[in-house]
Amino acid sequence: MSTDGAAAALARSEVRDLIAAKGHAVDNARAAVARLETAFADGSLERTAAMGQFLADLMQALEQDEGEKIGGKSAEAARFILRAVDRELDLA
């Protein structure tokens, strides 16, 4: 069951804008995750099981050690997972 209302619509729109933003996929992914976490915390969106798994996978792809740069594989994984997040947003 998806969350209805203006707050849910705004959160979905903002997350989709962050996913589609110009810039590095890793930076876009981090911004989208932060916005999603805010929406989950304030009740605007509901964390589905699939969304939880996508976000866990995304965080693993974005994980880096201190001072380590994230390479192309992380960006590719982030883009792939963000497409799944975008599809799942309507159910959140």
Please provide the DSSP assignment of 9-45 as one string. HHHHHHHHHHHH-SS-HHHHHHHHHHHHHHHHHTTSS
pLDDT at 64: 64
Question: Would you kindly state where each structural domain of the chain is located, as residue ranges?
Answer: 6-91
pLDDT in tens, 10-27: 999 999 999 999 988 888
pTM metric for this prediction: 0.85
pLDDT at 70: 57
Picking from 70, 84, 91, the residue whose alpha carbon sits closest to that of residue 32 is: 84
pLDDT in tens, 28-77: 999 999 999 999 999 999 999 999 999 999 988 887 655 555 556 778 88
pLDDT in tens, 66-87: 555 555 677 888 889 999 999 9
Picking from 37, 28, 39, the residue whose alpha carbon sits closest to that of residue 81 is: 28
CA dist 29 and 59 (Å) reads 9
